C-alpha cells in the first residue's frame, strides 16, 4: 500500500515535473527539449526549468524514502528493529554549551569573511573545537545507560586535552591584551597601570582566600568581569594604537636601539 508521505511527495514530484515541462513549452522551448531534459532541443527559460527539475528530483527522493520506510511509522520502526514497541524517537538531552558556541563560531566565520581574515580563522577554530566537543559529547552519551558514568567517561577523555589548550589560549589572550594596554600607555603610565592592576588582582585573591564561604557565583563573577575588562581594554587600546617610539639616530628599527617618548 502506498503511504501518505509517498502520496504527498510523489504527488509533488509529478506536479513539479508537469510544471517544469509546462514552463518550458510556454517560454520558448522546442518540442522535445523539456521532455528530454534539454538533450534534444531547448528548454525555454533555463533558470525556471532547472530549478523545477532539481526540485522534482529531490521530491521524488523524498517520496521513495517515505514509501521504503513506511513513513517511519512507529509500528514499522518496531518491526524493523524486531521489538514490540518502537524506542523513543528522541532521548531527553540536557543543557549543552555546544549549540550556542557553534552558532557563535558560525557567526564569527561570517563576520570574519566580511571584516578580516584573522576573525575568520578564529571562527574556524571555534567551529572545529565545537565539532570535536559535540562529537565527544554524543559519543559519551552512548557509553552506558548511566548518565553519570557517561559524563565521567567524557571528562576522563576530554579534560586532559581541554584544560591545557584552554589554559594556553586564556593565558595567551590575556598576555596579548595586557601587552596592548601597556604599549598604549606612556612609559610612566605603563608602570602605574601594571602596579595598580597587580595590587587589585593580589587584593582580590587575598579577599577570596579570607572568605572560604564566598559563593562560587561571586568568584566566577569577579573572574568574568576582570577578564572581560582586560579584553575590552586590550581591544580598545589595540585599535587606538601603540605610543610613539622615537628611534635613536632615526635609522635602524631595532628594539634595543630605540628610546620611548613619554607623552
Partner 1 sequence: MTTTDNAAASDSAPTALEQAVTTTDPVALARVWGFGGMTSILLGAVAGLLVGLERLDLASADVFGSADEVFQFWSAHRVAFVLLGVLPALMALATTVVPRQCGGSLVFPRAAAMACWTWLVGAGMTVAGFLVDGGLGTPGGGGQREATALTMMGLLLAIGGLLLASVCVMTTIVSGRAAGTGLRDLPYTAWTTLVGATVWTGMLGVLAANAVLAYVDLRGRPAVRFGAEDAIWEQLSWMFTHPAIYVLALPVLGIALDLVSSATRTEQANRDVLLVATAAFGFLSFGAFAQTFFDTPGTPVAEEAISVVAAFAIVPVALAIVGGLADTLRRGAGNLGSKPPAEAVCSVLAAVLVLAATAVGAVRVIAPLELLDTSVTGAHFALVLGAVVLGVGAGFHHWGEELVGPKGRRPGLFLLGGLAVAGGTVLVGVADLVSGLLDQADFTGVDLATAGNPDSGVDGLNLVSLVGSLALLGGLAIWMLTGSLHTAANRKGAA
| Cα–Cα distance list, 243 to 87, 95, 132, 236, 257 (Å) | 66, 46, 41, 14, 16
Residue placing its CB nearer to partner 1 in the complex, 35 or 197: 35
- Shortest Cβ 32–partner 1 spacing (Å): 19
Widest distance between CA atoms in the chain: 92
Neighbours of 6 (CB within 10 A): 20
Output the smallest distance, CB 33 to partner 1, in A.
Answer: 14
Q: Which is nearer to partner 1, 16 or 184 (CB)?
A: 16
**Cβ 42 to partner 1, closest distance in Å?**
10
CA separation for the pair 129, 102 (Å, rounded): 9
Q: Which is nearer to partner 1, 110 or 172 (CB)?
A: 110
Helices (H) then strands (E): counts for the chain: 8, 2
Query: In angstroms, what is the minimal distance from the CB of 40 to partner 1?
Result: 19
Closer to partner 1 by Cβ: residue 95 or 254 = 95
CB atoms within 10 A of CB 231: 14
Residue with C-alpha cell 573572574? 223
- Tracing cell 584552554 back to the chain, one arrives at 166
Q: Cβ 84 to partner 1, closest distance in Å? A: 10
Site residues for partner 1 per CB under 8 A: 3-5, 8-9, 11-12, 15-16, 19, 22-23, 26-28, 45-49, 51-52, 55, 58-59, 62, 66, 71-75, 77-78, 85-86, 88-90, 92-100, 102-104, 106-107, 110-111, 113-115, 134, 208-209, 212-217, 219-220
Binning the chain into helix, strand and coil, the percentages to the nearest 5 are 75, 0, 25
**Of residues 57 and 172, the one with the C-beta less far from partner 1:** 57
Amino acid at each position: 500500500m502506498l503511504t501518505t508521505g509517498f502520496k504527498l511527495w510523489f504527488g509533488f514530484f509529478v506536479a513539479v515535473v508537469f510544471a517544469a515541462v509546462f514552463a518550458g513549452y510556454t517560454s520558448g522551448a522546442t518540442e522535445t527539449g523539456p521532455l528530454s531534459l534539454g538533450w534534444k532541443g531547448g528548454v525555454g527559460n533555463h533558470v525556471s526549468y532547472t530549478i523545477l527539475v532539481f526540485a522534482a528530483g529531490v521530491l521524488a527522493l523524498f517520496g521513495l524514502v517515505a514509501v521504503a520506510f513506511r513513513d517511519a511509522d512507529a509500528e514499522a520502526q518496531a518491526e524493523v528493529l524486531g521489538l514490540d514497541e518502537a524506542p523513543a524517537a528522541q532521548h531527553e538531552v540536557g543543557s549543552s554549551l555546544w549549540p550556542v558556541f557553534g552558532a557563535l563560531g558560525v557567526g564569527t566565520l561570517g563576520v570574519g569573511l566580511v571584516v578580516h581574515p584573522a576573525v575568520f580563522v578564529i571562527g574556524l577554530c571555534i567551529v572545529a573545537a565545537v565539532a570535536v566537543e559535540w562529537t565527544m559529547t554524543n559519543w559519551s552519551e552512548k557509553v552506558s545507560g548511566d548518565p553519570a558514568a557517561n559524563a565521567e567517561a567524557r571528562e576522563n577523555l576530554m579534560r586532559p586535552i581541554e584544560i591545557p589548550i584552554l589554559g594556553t589560549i586564556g593565558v595567551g589572550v590575556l598576555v596579548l591584551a595586557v601587552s596592548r594596554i601597556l604599549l598604549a600607555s606612556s612609559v610612566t603610565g605603563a608602570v602605574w597601570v601594571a602596579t595598580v592592576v597587580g595590587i587589585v588582582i593580589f587584593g582580590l585573591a587575598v579577599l577570596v582566600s579570607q572568605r572560604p564561604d564566598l559563593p562560587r557565583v561571586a568568584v566566577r563573577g569577579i573572574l568574568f568581569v576582570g577578564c572581560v575588562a582586560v579584553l575590552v581594554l586590550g581591544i580598545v587600546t589595540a585599535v587606538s594604537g601603540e605610543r610613539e617610539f622615537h628611534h635613536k639616530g632615526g635609522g635602524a628599527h631595532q628594539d634595543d636601539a630605540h628610546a620611548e617618548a613619554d607623552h
